[in-house]
Amino acid sequence: MGEVTENNSDMSILQRIATSDVPFLKDYGLNGVVGAVLLAIVIPFLLTSVFSRKTKKRAVQADVGGEPGLAMRNSRFSSLVQVPWEGATTMAALFEMASKKYSRRKCLGTRKLINREFVESADGKKFEKLHLGEYEWDTYAEAFNRACNFASGLIKMGHNLDSHAAIFSDTRAEWIIAAQGCFRQNLTAVTIYASLGEDALVHSLNETQVSTLICDSKQLKKLPAISSKLKSLRHVIYIEDEPVEAETLNQMKHWTTLSFTEVEELGKTSHIDARLPSSSDTAVIMYTSGSTGLPKGVMITHGNMVATTAAVMTIVPNLGMDDVYLAYLPLAHVFELAAETVMLASGTAIGYGTALTMTDTSNKIKKGTKGDVSVLKPTLMISVPAILDRIRDAVFKKVGEKGGVTKKLFDFAYNRNLAAIEGSWFGSWAPERMIWDNLIFKPIRAMLGGRVRFVLCGGAPLSSDTQRFMNICLGVPVGQGYGLTETCAGAAFSEWDDTSVGRVGPPLPCCYVKLVSWEEGGYTISDSPMPRGEVVVGGYSITKGYYNNEAKTNEVYKVDERGMRWFYTGDIGQFHPDGCIEIIDRKKDIVKLQHGEYVSLGKVESALSTSNYVDNIMVYADPFHNYCVALVVPAHQALEKWAQNSGINYKDFEELCQNDQAIKEVQQSLSKAGKAARLEKFEIPAKILLLPEPWTPESGLVTAALKLKREQIKTKFKDDLNKLYH
Ligand SMILES: *[C@@H]1O[C@H](CO)[C@@H](O)[C@H](O)[C@H]1NC(C)=O
Ligand SMILES: *[C@@H]1O[C@H](CO)[C@@H](O)[C@H](O)[C@H]1NC(C)=O
């Protein structure tokens, strides 16, 4: 068992210290005095590392109701936390109290636009380049005032208090102001992913009978084309982040249209009293890009939001007013909304940015001007694994290109720090780490502004390589969150002092996590060495269910005899001895092949993704055959480099993807990756197809968190998949 072997290795370190034989001091030829001084520094350090490595119980078993299973709760609290502080029972109350507490602190920051220009590339395509200036800030008091004005303006404009308002915009300060404005009038805000397609948009607005739509200028342009389908819509409020053409507005004469500023002005001159919500009222109906069919609207209550907020606040070490947070992920994703609420609750400054303007070399940043991180210098960031993977790949590529001494030094420093983090006693000497940090890793840290001290990561599992890369090159802990829209982001979160990889931590203090045996899948809570089963989450962060869809709600939500809500995630997890959860599989992604073998698609995909050639991969198993196949989006550079080296001629990447030798090369690499991960023969794709076009959220083939949308991919490549089985 893990616990026992760990204790053994700790023992051997203790024994080595206890015996006077301390080889590294002798090797360094140091005399007794220096040795003693060094020992005085080193021993406490080793001891702390010894003790902190002792398996600390991060979660303890809990006695709960509902279906039989093994339930755990966070060990730091004796009961579930429900609110960040007394009185903060709703989003509206939380923001109002925060705005009094931190009134003159920076709250929401937006970069000033200095200049916008278009450059033309060789093939005639136009690219927008922005020259952005400093951040301009609203203080907490100002932001709160704006929300109050917006709330009044919304009513004055004619919004019917019995109907919903929707927010359809990229992440920006106005998003939070609009949402808080709605909350102050007990209005439910419907939120929609900005990258969802037209059908999904029409469906969401229609299903919730939205009468006021708040959007940015990019989304505004989409409205005229679908206006006849938006039957319930009466009012449109547009954020003027870009100049809005009179022509666009002309096509919307049948609605009342006002700019965001006009609504705020309207509210300023005619105050309307707040109509505050209660904790059980629905704050947000969040339409998530589900992996199948039309999006479902998850009803999130004020109580859900503040519970998650309270819990996450206890996870980020020393969170507070000196922190600066870079906000750029979609706010229509519960993960970002929860993170920004945590920031608001703790008096942190939230600076807005975008993925395309983040660094000095980002696509949309005008050459020679600064990216968001260089100007903001954030201390806290949030990310999804795919973004961190890209940062890692970019750094390794750069180091590889430099080669020579740089690469040798980098590799050496990297391995030393890796050993330190993974707890080998030689490597854990703090001063050495400091030297490498300054010499090698500082410039890498500067890429993200140089001050990042904690990264929250969620949305999908983070690979252990990338997690280690972040620890070493950025010198920061990565807190991995696990949760879904249905659990209001909150379910589990790894703690900052936990340097293990691949796990998602203990349950958040606002909920229980329970494993329920799934016999058909072969996962039970009596499994050894660890109990396994479907992850079921219960507690204050569990949402009300799907809007207008009782059947689906009853299928995946259950209320136990004590009145506690539980959500059945469909994920398979296991509990480590310290109570941390590891997600190991997904219930619905299991396919039974013709001969009765089970293929866990997610598991196979993550194993095959370690091949250099894979940018994205979807494994497909037809239950009527005895082998599986795969659609692979190859990594351009890796495949082109191989083609060059093997002297293959090709016109463009598309042609290369059809080249038999290329297919064979990728397949061999997949096979190798599969064998390394000890996959069964039937799990390794027997045939593959290379697809030249990357899968992006815009193409509708992956979610905004870059998870595969199996159904969509299957539909799009139906014919190709059929061919692979012939
Ligand atoms: C809007 O919803 C109604 C039911 O509430 C349905 O009958 C109608 O087909 C929907 N329209 C669109 C365009 O989705
Ligand atoms: C808020 O609005 C909902 C829906 O209209 C209503 O049921 C609830 O009672 C309201 N809450 C309060 C505190 O008035």
pLDDT per residue as tens digits for the range 301-329:
999 999 999 999 998 888 999 999 999 99
**Residue 697 domain-assigned?**
yes
Dihedral angle over CA of 259, 263, 264, 266, nearest 10: 130
Beta bridge partner(s), residue 350 = 108, 325
Which CATH number characterizes residue 315's domain? 3.40.50.12780
What are the contacts of 248-257 at 24+ separation with CB within 8 A? 248/220, 248/221, 248/223, 248/224, 251/223, 251/224, 251/227, 252/223, 252/224, 252/227, 254/227, 255/227, 256/157, 256/158
pLDDT per residue as tens digits for the range 618-668:
999 987 788 899 999 999 999 999 999 999 999 999 999 999 999 999 999
- Ligand at minimal distance from the CA of 187 is 2
| Nearest atom in ligand 1 to 203's CA | 14
Greater pLDDT, 548 or 626? 548
pLDDT per residue as tens digits for the range 469-479:
888 888 888 88
Select from 352, 368, 397 the last residue of a domain: 352
CA of 206 to the centre of ligand 1 (A): 6
Q: What pLDDT was estimated at residue 593?
A: 80
CA of 577 to the centre of ligand 2 (A): 44
Q: What pLDDT was estimated at residue 419?
A: 80
Q: What pLDDT was estimated at residue 445?
A: 85
CA of 207 to the centre of ligand 1 (A): 7
Q: What pLDDT was estimated at residue 21?
A: 28
CA of 480 to the centre of ligand 2 (A): 35
| Nearest atom in ligand 1 to 229's CA | 13
Residue 259: pLDDT over 80: yes
Ligand 1 lined by 227 (C-beta under 6 Å): no
Tokens standing for residue 102? 């931190």
- Ligand at minimal distance from the CA of 229 is 1
Nearest CA to ligand 2 atom 11: 277
Nearest CA to ligand 1 atom 5: 207
Q: What pLDDT was estimated at residue 429?
A: 61
Greater pLDDT, 442 or 129? 129
**Residue 446 domain-assigned?**
no
Select from 305, 325, 352 the last residue of a domain: 352
pLDDT per residue as tens digits for the range 513-531:
999 998 766 789 999 899 9
CA of 222 to the centre of ligand 1 (A): 19
Using most ligand atoms within 8 A of CB, pick from 89, 159, 182, 186 the residue to mutate for ligand 2: 186
| Nearest atom in ligand 2 to 275's CA | 14
Nearest CA to ligand 2 atom 8: 281
**Residue 444 domain-assigned?**
no
Please check whether residue 285 is in contact with residue 278, taking contact to mean a CB–CB distance below 8 angstroms: no
How many angstroms separate the CA atoms of 207 and 580, rounded?
Answer: 39
**Residue 123 domain-assigned?**
yes
Tokens standing for residue 103? 């009134």
**Residue 717 domain-assigned?**
yes
pLDDT per residue as tens digits for the range 685-722:
999 999 999 998 888 888 766 778 887 898 899 999 99
Lowest model confidence (mean pLDDT) among 290-294, 419-423, 601-605: 290-294
Greater pLDDT, 536 or 497? 536
- Ligand at minimal distance from the CA of 207 is 1
Nearest CA to ligand 1 atom 10: 206
| Nearest atom in ligand 2 to 186's CA | 1
Residue 678: pLDDT over 90: no
Select from 352, 374, 407 the last residue of a domain: 352
| Nearest atom in ligand 2 to 162's CA | 5
Q: What pLDDT was estimated at residue 600?
A: 82
CA of 300 to the centre of ligand 2 (A): 14
Residue reference for tokens 């919903």: 164
| Residue 626 belongs to domain spanning | 593-724
Nearest CA to ligand 2 atom 6: 281
Q: Is 480 helix (H, G, I), strand (E, B) or coil?
A: strand
Ligand 1 lined by 229 (C-beta under 6 Å): yes
**Residue 333 domain-assigned?**
yes
Nearest CA to ligand 2 atom 7: 281
Residue 462: pLDDT over 70: yes
Q: What pLDDT was estimated at residue 424?
A: 56
Q: What pLDDT was estimated at residue 37?
A: 46
Ligand 1 lined by 203 (C-beta under 6 Å): yes
Q: What pLDDT was estimated at residue 293?
A: 62
Q: What pLDDT was estimated at residue 264?
A: 98
Q: What pLDDT was estimated at residue 273?
A: 96
Greater pLDDT, 684 or 710? 684
Q: Which residues line ligand 2 (CB under 6 A)?
A: 186, 277-278, 281
Which CATH number characterizes residue 637's domain? 3.30.300.30
The DSSP code sequence of 608-656 is HTTSTTEEEEEEEE-TTSSSEEEEEEE-HHHHHHHHHHTT---SSHHHH
Nearest CA to ligand 1 atom 8: 206
**Residue 399 domain-assigned?**
no
Lowest model confidence (mean pLDDT) among 47-61, 411-425, 489-503, 635-649: 47-61
Please choose, from the candidates 690, 697, 725, the residue with its C-alpha nearest in 3D space to the C-alpha of residue 712: 697
- Ligand at minimal distance from the CA of 302 is 2
Number of domains in the chain: 2
What is the pLDDT of the chain when averaged over all its residues? 86
Would you put residue 102 in left (φ > 0), alpha (ψ -120 to 50) or beta? alpha
Nearest CA to ligand 2 atom 3: 281
Lowest model confidence (mean pLDDT) among 38-42, 85-89, 214-218, 474-478: 38-42
CA of 277 to the centre of ligand 2 (A): 6
CA of 190 to the centre of ligand 1 (A): 17
What residue type is 681 in one-letter code?
Answer: K
**Residue 410 domain-assigned?**
no
How many angstroms separate the CA atoms of 491 and 128, rounded?
Answer: 40
Residue 461: pLDDT over 80: no
Lowest model confidence (mean pLDDT) among 108-117, 408-417, 668-677: 408-417
- HSE-CB for 75 with a 13 A CA cutoff: 13
Q: 32 pLDDT band (50/70/90 cuts)?
A: very low
Q: What pLDDT was estimated at residue 134?
A: 97
CA of 640 to the centre of ligand 2 (A): 60
Phi, psi dihedral angles at 162 (to 5 degrees): -90, 0
